[in-house]
């Protein structure tokens, strides 16, 4: 591969990275439903990517389910977080065609991490989130 071919996609990658950074910083600054909505979208994208990594048959519905699940646990009592996360993780593992236990672990940590990030912003505020 030539030297110029290796760097041909650098400009679009930098621009998309800057756009994502600005969008993320704006959502962190704004907080509230804007930040929560972004976290739901990120949960959906991460679950979709994990499902594709583990050859899940229904990657898109699993991604949508993760986004909806995070949206639900943000409005439900905190006791529902583990139950919803475990349930969706087991469903995701059931659809995986390989490494099912690892898919369950990935799915659980995606959901728990997204919930914790949204909860941290809501409970502790902007200062803690930026720190």
Condensed to tens digits (0 to 9), the pLDDT of residues 72-103 reads 999 988 889 999 999 999 999 999 999 999 99
Residue 1 has a pLDDT of: 55
Placement of tokens 């704006």 in the chain: 26
The Cα-based distances of 18 to 15, 21, 28, 46 in angstroms read 5, 5, 15, 19
Is a pLDDT exceeding 70 seen at residue 44? Answer: yes
For 93, residues 6+ apart whose C-beta sits below 8 A from its C-beta are: 100, 101, 103, 104, 107
CB 96, CB 55: distance < 8 Å: yes
Check the CA dihedral 73-76-82-86 and report its sign: negative
Q: Are 66 and 111 in contact (CB under 8 A)?
A: yes
> Taking the chain, what is the end-to-end CA distance rounded to the nearest angstrom?
42
Q: Are 99 and 54 in contact (CB under 8 A)?
A: yes
Q: Which residue has the higher pLDDT, 124 or 2?
A: 124
CA 52 to CA 10: how far, in whole Å?
25
Q: Are 20 and 106 in contact (CB under 8 A)?
A: no
Average pLDDT rounded to a whole number, residues 38-52: 95
| Residue-wise pLDDT tens digits, 2-39 | 667 778 888 899 999 999 999 999 999 999 999 999 99
Which pLDDT value is given to residue 41? Answer: 96
């Amino acid at each position: 591969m030539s030297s110029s071919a290796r760097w041909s996609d650098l400009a679009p990658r930098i621009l998309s990275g800057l756009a994502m950074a600005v969008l993320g910083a704006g959502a962190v600054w704004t907080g509230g439903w804007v930040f929560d909505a972004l976290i739901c979208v990120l949960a959906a994208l991460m679950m979709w990517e994990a499902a594709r990594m583990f050859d899940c048959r229904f990657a898109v519905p699993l991604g949508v389910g993760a986004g909806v699940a995070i949206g639900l646990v943000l409005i439900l009592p905190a006791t529902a977080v583990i139950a919803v996360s475990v349930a969706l993780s087991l469903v995701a593992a059931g659809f995986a065609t390989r490494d099912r236990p690892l898919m369950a672990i990935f799915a659980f940590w995606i959901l728990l991490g997204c919930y914790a990030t949204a909860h941290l912003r809501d409970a502790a505020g902007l200062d803690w989130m930026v720190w």
